Chains A and B, each alone.
Chain A
Amino acid sequence: MEHILQMHDIVKNYPGVTALDHVDLELKPGEVLALVGENGAGKSTLMKILGGAETADSGLIVIKENSYTQYSPKSAIDYGVGVIYQELNYLNDLTIAENIFLGRLPRKRLIRTVDYKELNRCSKVLQQKVGIHKEPTTEVRALSVGEKQLVEIARIFSQDISILIFDEPTSALTDTETENLFKLIRECKAEGKSVIYISHRLEEVFEISDRVQVLRDGKSVAVLQTASTDKKEIVHHMVGREIKDLYPISSRPTGDIYLEVRNLTAEKARNVTFDLHKGEIVGLFGLMGSGRTSIVKALFGAIKATSGEILIEGKPVQITSPESALRNGIVYIPSERKTEGLVLSHTVKENITLASLDRIKKGLFLNRRKESELVNLWVDKLNIRTPSIDKEVKELSGGNQQKVVLSKYLTLNPRVIIMNEPTRGIDVGAKVEIYKIIEQLCDQGICVLIISSELPEVMALSDRIVVISNGEVSGICERADGYTQETLLEYAIARME
């Protein structure tokens, strides 16, 4: 058996996006394969298909010489495929041991009740292996995110698994935990088990993998031997295009300082200080959980800032709620379009005017003509493709939904726009449209603050990049000095303990 796993010609389409475009993947016994690519390249989708959580539109999976076209997560385990997903699945109210052995709790012989003694004994053995130094009877609620991740890993290890898949396992782990995980992976390798390892961190890829496969825009673009490649080659394959083509934004002169954030401190944000100039795009970059969303939510008044100051044109302003932020001309375009941006069951019109209802009042009642005019204006301006402004917004495509969210806030004529992942989950065409809108806004002297976890995007758009690590500003880079992914990532992990 040369290959323990082969994935042939996997295709997966989501409405409006081709997530996987005829992807092949092979894995030998005892091999560690690193899977890399930008966000949205299709890594996670490919692994979800392998784990049975998603079904491919077409393609074939061969595991240990048995071929399958589709199967359930449960049969994936039976075939020896164990996935540790990015989004963790654990039950907070159960103990570590119960979580690890969920669904397979040992029973007492006669009365068939759970044998807790045996359960906790088995759990302890496994915990030692993966490095959870807590009693098996501890509730998972009390664990750190990293430890919860380890519980997940222990659960997979407790089963008879020959193909282990880690989807960015280290983003929440500390250095010691990461080291321990690598030790574990090497042990698996020695036992002849195979591992697929997804990570953004190229250092890790070089440390742990035998081969590297690069995905880009749903296609497999390169398979390389780790020993005979370098970071530069991998990044080249990951990005694979002249960035300027995709980002129609050029650097332009910016105006005076408009907004100053001074020592802003909130939950998960400490002493954050930066400025926004008129007409400037500033990128706020940081890894997941770095506190970047807390910073902008505190700036927008959506979470409470415990200390710090916000100045507009040199004058301090009080921002205690989104209401007061909007009054001061600051808008926040949330990252979660469906849960934070839109009232899905309401119409395009109702969504667009949601933030400006009080401005289209005439006496007691809404001025319905003015409302329709306003909505039609923005539907035209942003080219929102909808059959009618009375269509329910949930029936629109992702890109158009994002434009609805944008116009909701643009109707307020903001001076400062904070965008959290403005292009997440929308197709390339719509992305370019959004970038063009952003550039137009800057031309009008509006300040734009962008959070994005796509490094190429941040690098191409931003005039300045503020890097956040563990809730603090760990570095500020100017476009004039040139950005490199390495420097930015270095800053991003600078304050991690």
Chain B
Amino acid sequence: MKDKAMQVGRMSLDSVKKFRFSVVNTQVTLVLALVILGVVFSTLSPVFFSVRNFLNVGISSSILGIMATGLTVAMLLGGLDISQYSVAAFAGLLTAVLLKAGSSIPVALLAVLACGVVLGGINGLIITRMRINPIITTLGTSLIFRSLAFIMTSGRYIAIDNEVMNYIGRGYFLGVPNAIWFMIFVYAIFYYMLKYTAFGRKIYAVGGNADASFLSGINVKKIRFQAFMISGIMAALAGLMMSAQVSAGMPTAGEGAELDVIVAVILGGISLSGGKGKILGTLLGVLILAVLKNGLTLLSVQAFYQMLIRGLVLILAVFLDTLRGGGYR
């Protein structure tokens, strides 16, 4: 068992060297890393290379993936949002509470959106009006939001028994899980938003040089505020998906996983200093993490070792960021 884990470790180290040589094109290296992981796991596990397993990877990556789009926007501005899983837990729990109280599905969905707007907006206000560093802000609000989630139900889980929620979380459309459709849809929107709209261009500009953007007549505060709102909305939608998949709202949802989404986004090539990176990179980063987790689980690598590997991947991701020139000096 250990040997296999070691082999996996060695393979990802080999790919580090490849990363270094083709740092120029992040996307290509990420695809390469994904392929290498795929080949390794296919050789080691007979179950890995199958449509069913791939769909599994897709489903399990959807929550992380949806959240990562919002975080990508915040990080392109040079910010960070640690409060996403707390927002997700709050939103998921709120859905469960509302449905249990007899709300209709549209009302619950609107509530989820409102929850994202308000909680994300709170982050945005603190960052732009009180001018507190985004990391500290969202570290604080992550505690506050999760606490509010616990307070909402006195710490209890709320089960969801609803056809539509089941369909959202576990249903299929044209043979593909809805979770995957939803993720594709979200990524398509973000792709166009970031690449082809004035708003997207402004996000990159503010992340690249806030002073120059300000002097170019861009309302830097507004863009920052909107970005954190978007991050909140995507976290809330991920929370909806989370509660739909497990058929319950849980105040503890995502505890201990807070950093996964940051790992995914950094791995995807979004520079920690902002202004650089592509949403497709984020998608690849999410998939790499999901494949890694799936493959290691299939190989029955114990959770302890998985944690170790996730930690290594985090370091690796940041190391890649420094190679791209966005490093800590």
Residues of A within 8 Å of B209, CB to CB, are 339, 342-344
Segment with Cβ contacts to A, from B5-13, B67-75, B194-202? B194-202
Q: Does any Cβ of B come within 8 Å of A389's Cβ?
A: no
Q: Are A357 and B202 in contact (CB under 8 A)?
A: yes
Q: Does any Cβ of A come within 8 Å of B22's Cβ?
A: no
Chain B nearest Cβ from A303, distance in angstroms: 11
Q: Are B197 and A346 in contact (CB under 8 A)?
A: no
Q: Are A323 and B196 in contact (CB under 8 A)?
A: no
With beta carbons under 8 angstroms apart, the residue of B192, B196, B214 that contacts A322 is B214
Q: Which A residue's beta carbon lies closest to that of B210?
A: A343
Q: Does any Cβ of A come within 8 Å of B170's Cβ?
A: no
Residues of B within 8 Å of A357, CB to CB, are 198, 201-202
Residues of A within 8 Å of B201, CB to CB, are 350, 353-354, 357, 366
With beta carbons under 8 angstroms apart, the residue of A326, A339, A365 that contacts B197 is A365
Q: Does any Cβ of A come within 8 Å of B218's Cβ?
A: yes
Q: Are B216 and A354 in contact (CB under 8 A)?
A: yes
Residues of B within 8 Å of A342, CB to CB, are 209, 212
Known: A357-B201, A357-B202. A365 touches B196 (CB 8 A): yes
Q: Which B residue's beta carbon lies closest to that of A357?
A: B198
Known: A321-B219, A323-B217, A326-B217. A346 touches B211 (CB 8 A): no
Q: Which A residue's beta carbon lies closest to that of B276?
A: A345
With a 10 A CB-CB cut-off, give which of B201, B211, B215, B276 has the most chain A CB atoms.
B215
Q: Which B residue's beta carbon lies closest to that of A346?
A: B208
Interface 1/0 per residue, A315-356 and B, CB below 8 Å: 000000111011000001010000111111110001001110
Q: Does any Cβ of A come within 8 Å of B275's Cβ?
A: yes
Q: Are B219 and A345 in contact (CB under 8 A)?
A: no
Interface size, chain B (Cβ < 8 Å): 21
Q: Are B198 and A322 in contact (CB under 8 A)?
A: no
Chain A nearest Cβ from B75, distance in angstroms: 15
Interface 1/0 per residue, A404-427 and B, CB below 8 Å: 000010000000000000000000
Interface 1/0 per residue, B74-109 and A, CB below 8 Å: 000000000000000000000000000000000000
With beta carbons under 8 angstroms apart, the residue of A346, A353, A366 that contacts B204 is A346
Report the Cα distance A364→B208, complex, angstroms. 23
Report the Cα distance A322→B201, complex, angstroms. 18
Q: Are B216 and A322 in contact (CB under 8 A)?
A: yes
Q: Are A322 and B275 in contact (CB under 8 A)?
A: no
Residues of B within 8 Å of A300, CB to CB, are 215
Report the Cα distance A358→B222, complex, angstroms. 15
Q: Does any Cβ of B come within 8 Å of A368's Cβ?
A: yes
Q: Does any Cβ of B come within 8 Å of A361's Cβ?
A: yes
Q: Are A355 and B216 in contact (CB under 8 A)?
A: yes
Q: Which B residue's beta carbon lies closest to that of A301?
A: B217
Q: Which A residue's beta carbon lies closest to that of B209?
A: A343
Report the Cα distance A70→B216, complex, angstroms. 43
Q: Are B215 and A361 in contact (CB under 8 A)?
A: no
Q: Are A332 and B275 in contact (CB under 8 A)?
A: no
Q: Does any Cβ of B come within 8 Å of A302's Cβ?
A: yes
Known: A361-B198, A365-B197. A332 touches B215 (CB 8 A): yes
Q: Which A residue's beta carbon lies closest to that of B219?
A: A323
Q: Which A residue's beta carbon lies closest to that of B206?
A: A343
Residues of B within 8 Å of A368, CB to CB, are 196
With beta carbons under 8 angstroms apart, the residue of A339, A358, A364, A366 that contacts B212 is A339
A343-402 interface (Cβ within 8 A of B): 343-346, 350, 353-355, 357-358, 360-361, 364-366, 368
Chain B nearest Cβ from A323, distance in angstroms: 5
Report the Cα distance A366→B192, complex, angstroms. 10
Q: Are B212 and A340 in contact (CB under 8 A)?
A: yes
Residues of B within 8 Å of A353, CB to CB, are 201
Known: A366-B196, A368-B196. A343 touches B215 (CB 8 A): no
Q: Are A302 and B202 in contact (CB under 8 A)?
A: no
Report the Cα distance A217→B267, complex, angstroms. 49
With beta carbons under 8 angstroms apart, the residue of A326, A339, A350, A358 that contacts B205 is A350
Q: Does any Cβ of A come within 8 Å of B213's Cβ?
A: yes
Q: Which B residue's beta carbon lies closest to that of A343?
A: B208
Chain B nearest Cβ from A242, distance in angstroms: 36
Residues of A within 8 Å of B216, CB to CB, are 322, 354-355, 408
Residues of B within 8 Å of A355, CB to CB, are 216-218
Residues of B within 8 Å of A358, CB to CB, are 198
Report the Cα distance A360→B218, complex, angstroms. 15
Chain B nearest Cβ from A471, distance in angstroms: 21
Residues of B within 8 Å of A350, CB to CB, are 201, 204-205
Chain A nearest Cβ from B78, distance in angstroms: 12
With beta carbons under 8 angstroms apart, the residue of B192, B205, B211, B275 that contacts A340 is B211
Residues of A within 8 Å of B215, CB to CB, are 300, 302, 322, 332, 334, 340-341
Report the Cα distance A334→B217, complex, angstroms. 13
Q: Are B219 and A354 in contact (CB under 8 A)?
A: no
Report the Cα distance A187→B260, complex, angstroms. 66
Residues of B within 8 Å of A365, CB to CB, are 192, 196-197
Q: Are A343 and B219 in contact (CB under 8 A)?
A: no
Chain A nearest Cβ from B217, distance in angstroms: 4
Q: Which B residue's beta carbon lies closest to that of A368?
A: B196
Report the Cα distance A340→B205, complex, angstroms. 12
Residues of B within 8 Å of A344, CB to CB, are 208-209
Residues of B within 8 Å of A340, CB to CB, are 211-212, 215
Q: Are A354 and B213 in contact (CB under 8 A)?
A: yes
Known: A321-B219, A350-B205. A343 touches B213 (CB 8 A): yes
Report the Cα distance A295→B321, complex, angstroms. 40
Report the Cα distance A346→B211, complex, angstroms. 14
Q: Which B residue's beta carbon lies closest to that of A405?
A: B212
Report the Cα distance A141→B205, complex, angstroms. 33
Report the Cα distance A360→B217, complex, angstroms. 15
Report the Cα distance A357→B217, complex, angstroms. 10
Chain B nearest Cβ from A345, distance in angstroms: 5
Chain B nearest Cβ from A367, distance in angstroms: 10
Report the Cα distance A368→B215, complex, angstroms. 23
Interface residues of B (CB under 8 A from A): 192, 196-198, 201-202, 204-205, 208-209, 211-219, 275-276
A-B contact pairs, 24 of them (CB 8 A): A302-B214, A323-B219, A325-B217, A339-B209, A340-B211, A341-B212, A342-B209, A342-B212, A343-B209, A343-B212, A344-B208, A345-B208, A345-B276, A346-B208, A354-B201, A354-B205, A354-B213, A355-B217, A355-B218, A357-B198, A357-B202, A358-B198, A365-B196, A366-B197
Give 6 nearest A-B pairs by CB, closest first.
A343-B208, A357-B198, A355-B216, A326-B217, A343-B209, A354-B216
Known contacts A322-B214, A350-B201, then 13 further A-B pairs from the complex at CB < 8 Å, ordered by chain A residue: A302-B215, A321-B219, A322-B215, A326-B217, A334-B212, A340-B215, A342-B209, A345-B208, A350-B205, A353-B201, A354-B201, A354-B213, A361-B198
